[in-house]
Amino acid sequence: MTKAAYLRVYSPEVLPSDEPVPGFVRTYGMLSETDGESEWSVEWEGRRLVCPRNLRLRVLESTVAFANAFRGMGVGLIPEDAAKAADRELESYHSSNPSSRSHVLTSAWHVPVRWFTAFDPSEKFLYEGPGGPRVRFRANIEDVKPRVDYALETLRQLGIFQGPAEELNQLVDWLEPFPDASMVELDYADVSDLFESQELIFDDSCELIQESVKALASGDMMLAGENYGKVVSRWAPAFSVTFSN
């Protein structure tokens, strides 16, 4: 089963969905979760917030995104027939459910660097998982949105990082519709298994990325590149598992 990290948004008064996952997704091993509960819930600042899993929509989105990401690199990680089937089903789903949207972003085998722009290092928490310690970050969406906006604006002003800027813009667009009462969570989940316990406990990826953004804003390209490079190097072995599988 694919190990994955998650970026989740918990909101009040959300209706869950328990539609089945397409069979071809299971066939090609793109499912990183098991069927069952239809939502995650959490007590946050005295309120009960819910993150619906909406597994059918999410696996269709992630399958299409994963196929598109590597198609241009000439890497056939997902068979063409499966990618086309996911694309057709996703289009049909959106036509039938125009107001439905995913509360979860999923990343196989690693945490995307851009996700770290949403959090402050002080918002890091350790919790115990089935195989040892896990890492998560949690923050009010009212704090998250300005941080991601700031990182995006910093890249746009420089005008030389078009790829990362576009990815950040997509993250901004995804976060925008969620209400101010929401909470955002970055959960390393079972991607944590790819690291030693000490590495997780002292992981400072978030801090390094925040420092990198600040360095870019101040014009210190050398420091920005140094901090960014440390994070990329740290996650490179985990990300490489994608290709070995």
Give one DSSP letter per residue of 50-75, joined into a string: EEE--HHHHHHHHHHHHHHHHHTTT-
Instruction: Give the DSSP H/E element, type plus range, for residue 157.
Output: helix 141-158
Indicate the helix (H) or strand (E) that contains 140: strand 132-140
**Tens digit of pLDDT per residue, the chain (245 long)?**
678 899 999 999 765 555 555 555 555 444 555 555 567 899 999 999 999 887 777 677 777 766 665 555 444 556 777 777 777 777 776 677 666 678 888 888 889 999 999 999 999 999 998 878 999 999 999 999 999 999 999 999 988 888 899 999 999 999 999 999 999 999 999 899 989 999 999 999 999 999 999 999 999 999 999 999 999 999 888 766 655 44
Per the confidence metrics, is the pTM higher than 0.85?
Answer: no
| Confidence (pLDDT) at 85 | 76
Of the candidates 103, 94, 32, the residue with the CA atom closest to the CA atom of residue 66: 32
C-alpha 47/C-alpha 211 separation (Å) is 32
**Alpha-carbon distances of 41 from 5, 10, 11, 16, 64, rounded to whole Å:** 17, 7, 9, 11, 27
> What's the confidence (pLDDT) of residue 123?
97
Task: Measure the CA–CA gap between 48 and 117, rounded to whole angstroms.
Answer: 26
Residue with tokens 């009040």: 12
Helix (H) or strand (E) holding 187: strand 183-187
Looking at residue 180, its amino acid is D
